[in-house]
Chain A
């Protein structure tokens, strides 16, 4: 059974990385094999805490997708994008920087793919009107979406998965990761100013094309905007308080989605049809495959190996933290960070069990473990910036740019992505070292 589960895991992973077959098909087939070959029982797969599907992640994703899909109909995201462009007063670098910040902020609360899908079209239009190459703007947005999404629990699926496994609250992420991301964004924008500040030029008369845009005309449904804006605000408030109130994040998100469906009058068939079911079933399949490897002890073996290599103790996991941030970053640059984190989560939980005794919340959220989790989150999220395939947002941006007639080669993306990845991961490493091992906060 060990070799069956390991074989399914390795084969599925390899096929997913190769991108020869759609990853959802691979994950579902691997999950079905895991059940049919009795690596896991159906009960294990659907109900067990350690081996089963993490329904908290699933329902959080579905619920946020519903909320965002309904909000998109109001035109508010196009409004924000055009308004942001006008704030730049037609200055090409200022527009790039403002778009980066807006993208990062949006990504902290919406998922990264949705953010770039909403903002990239306006970016292409602005670039067309200013007669500038859209590629630097689009790549900047992809990078910003990955960076911004690292800041909160709901910003990026790896964070949702880590939070669910380790029992972190929304405010844990605000307290531990948001400060790092704010610093990282600031340093990156300074670096970008040096790189692009003088290179981007626009004729004065073209700036008027952007300044004459009427962003007010973009709000199609003010009534729906009021309702969806209120529900989103209350949902975020719910996230802030969920730890204190004793609710899982999925409960908060589900309440938000259900409320918005009710008050918006939206047809539920249409609202639900727009959920990215392919992504959801990819997660479900993945959880079951990983559950199989947990059940047969492969994950325990790997966690023991990790302990042997990095020597974590009850009082000190410094080496493990430093290795984790870089290992996660490089792994995420090459492979999808979701299967990577799905594998690392039980691995780290198993390690906590061995080193700290017990795999309950006390061990998972032990002060010595905290920097290891944050290193995993930072590395897994920021590493995706390294290559055009490192994150879904990158793939979307490259696809859109090509469709608009501006091909972004793998190498061209890396010329932007690798330096940003190295800079942001180095800053993350410095942050973890300084905060948890020097200052001890």
Chain B
């Protein structure tokens, strides 16, 4: 099966100059895990997840152990947010993103996700335009329901 047959197309996309507060709202209030940054022609510039937003707000020099010494962690995060508030999607996004072609097989997608980690891979056409995404869940669903013939209506035995 080709990824074009299993990809989802209802994606959240933003422009590179989308403000940080908007990105925070999208991640906090929308169900999507991936937000794709595209230019005016729909070409993917990068992607970001909640991990990238949290990384932008957590100073690299504070690790989990050092955080234990802080008396007011809420105040530290609030100050970190204020320091990040001038940032845009361009500043926060990950640009080195592995992608799939519509003609790639589900097995390629499956193995790539497993080798490189991450939750989803974007599907791009030859011009770099974003067509959809293939998630781990979609691959698992395909394997379970179509390859192994499991029935979602039963109790999983």
Separation of A235 and B61 alpha carbons in the complex (Å): 30
A218 and B60 form a contact (CB under 8 A): no
Residues on B with C-beta less than 8 A from A75 are: 65
> Which residues does A use to contact B, with CB under 8 Å?
75, 78, 82, 120-122, 124-125, 128, 209, 212-215, 217-218, 220, 400, 403-404
A213–B71 CB distance below 8 A? yes
| B77 CB → nearest A CB, Å | 12
**Chain A minimum-CB-distance residue to B62:** A125
- The answer to whether A121 and B71 touch across the interface, beta carbons within 8 angstroms, is no
Query: Are B60 and A78 in touch, CB under 8 angstroms?
Result: no
Lowest 5 CB-CB distances: which A-B pairs, in order? A121-B61, A212-B71, A217-B68, A124-B61, A213-B69
Give which listed residue, B60, B62, B63, B75, contacts A403 with CB less than 8 A: B60
A120 to B59, CA, bound (A): 13
Docked pose: A209 CA to B79 CA in angstroms: 12
Contact B60 A404 (CB under 8 A): yes
Chain B interface (Cβ < 8 Å from any Cβ of A): 59-63, 65-66, 68-72, 75, 79
A125 contacts B59, CB within 8 Å? yes
Shortest C-beta distance, B65 to chain A (Å), equals: 5
| 7 A–B contacts from the bound complex (CB under 8 Å) | A75-B65, A120-B61, A121-B63, A212-B72, A213-B69, A217-B68, A220-B65
For residue A416, give the distance in angstroms from its CB to the closest CB of chain B. Answer: 21
Contact B60 A215 (CB under 8 A): no
Contacts of A122 in B (CB 8 A): 61, 66
Q: Are A128 and B59 in contact (CB under 8 A)?
A: yes
Nearest CB of chain A from residue B82's CB, rounded to whole Å = 11
From A212, A220, A400, contact of B61 by CB (8 A): A400
| Chain B residues near A403 (CB-CB < 8 A) | 60
Q: Is the CB of A218 within 8 A of B71?
A: no
Q: Which residue of A lies closest to B80 (CB)?
A: A128
Distance in Å: Cβ of A119 to nearest Cβ of chain B? 11
> Whose C-beta in chain B lies nearest to the C-beta of A120?
B61
Which residue from B62, B68, B72 sits with its C-beta under 8 Å from A121? B62
Please pick, from A121, A209, A212, A404, the residue contacting B66 in the complex, using a CB distance under 8 A: A121
Nearest opposing residue in chain A for B75, CB measure: A209
- A134 nearest CB neighbor, chain B only: B61
* CB–CB B61/A217 < 8 A: no
A212 contacts which chain B residues (CB < 8 A)?
A: 71-72
> B60 contacts which chain A residues (CB < 8 A)?
121, 403-404
Given A125-B62, A212-B71, A218-B66, 8 extra CB contacts under 8 A: A121-B66, A122-B61, A124-B59, A209-B71, A213-B70, A213-B71, A217-B69, A400-B61
Residues of A within 8 A of B68 (CB): 214, 217-218
